[in-house]
Chains A and B, each alone.
Chain A
């Protein structure tokens, strides 16, 4: 896949298909350690050890358990070719945690890509699933919790065009702030905001 955010969308969808009502996505970029980690935790049905051993095998796929297939093996391969790895933790009935690490500066590391598009595509899917998205970039952090957003919205669904539009602009804006070069910490229009 050409972007990390496409792998991320894939793993988020695994969570939904595992019956999760809440998924936590954490992206951690640490330039001093030259590490990038991506963690997806869901509260879905989880896997037993037997299935866990097999989901990283690309040739393990059955139509009955669609949540396994090529997705995780591809993500694992992407991490491994960048001096990283993919770790899988799961408990039946509790959920699954997937952690992929990468050498941030590795020449083969594909860019994060359109993470805003990934978050939105995930949120438009059925059945509804809450997302807690945390993106850390050295000492900066952006957090989006759809439970908070839904609380503000009441009966209005996240899929409403106005909400979708707001989400797209909001996430894009916060992502830009996060990846701004070091040293530029103050928002030029902080005053306008108040």
Chain B
């Protein structure tokens, strides 16, 4: 049986995390998940979990956060990807099973997945 987790583990977690913390703060990628009532009802919590797991798996540094309703409720769950020097892209109806492909194309290969795009804000 694995060792039970306790608050005391946090000292060790802190030690390990402190080493790479600066790199993480300087990340140029921001991913925002719509987490209003509409997003939550459409499955945004699971979509966000899938994003966090995929980033961890691929060791990609990105700031992942949530936002309330932005008014495109019919397209929830909405995922917004912002990268320094690129257009800000909003993807719609993003289910957890779309995440590996989305991360690979957009963040690794640098190609926007046009078929899932519902909004675009030009850079600048």
Write the residues of chain A forming the contact surface with B, with a CB cutoff of 8 angstroms.
1, 6, 9-10, 13, 17, 63, 66-67, 69-71, 74, 114, 117-118, 120-121, 124-126, 148-149, 152-157, 159-166, 169-170, 173, 187-189, 192-193
Contact = CB atoms under 8 A, between A and B. Distances in A.
A114 B40 CA distance: 13
A159 B71 CA distance: 27
Contacts of A166: 5, 9-10, 13
A152 B11 contact: yes
Interface in B13-34: 13-14, 16-18, 21, 24
Contact of A13 (B6, B7, B35): B35
Nearest to B55: A161
A1 B1 contact: no
A188 to B, nearest CB: 7
Given A149-B7, A152-B10, A192-B4, A161 B56 contact: yes
A186 B35 CA distance: 39
Contacts of A13: 35-36, 40, 66, 68
Interface of B: 1, 3-7, 9-11, 13-14, 16-18, 21, 24, 35-38, 40-41, 44-46, 48-49, 52, 55-56, 63-69, 71
Contact of B14 (A9, A153, A159, A173): A153
A6 B69 CA distance: 15
A126 B3 contact: no
Contacts of A10: 36-37, 40
Contacts of B36: 10, 13, 66, 69, 71
A125 B18 contact: no
A169 B5 contact: yes
Contact of B10 (A149, A187, A192): A149
Contacts of B10: 149, 152-153, 163, 166
B58 to A, nearest CB: 11
A7 B44 CA distance: 13
A1 B52 contact: no
A1 B13 contact: no
A167 to B, nearest CB: 9
B85 to A, nearest CB: 22
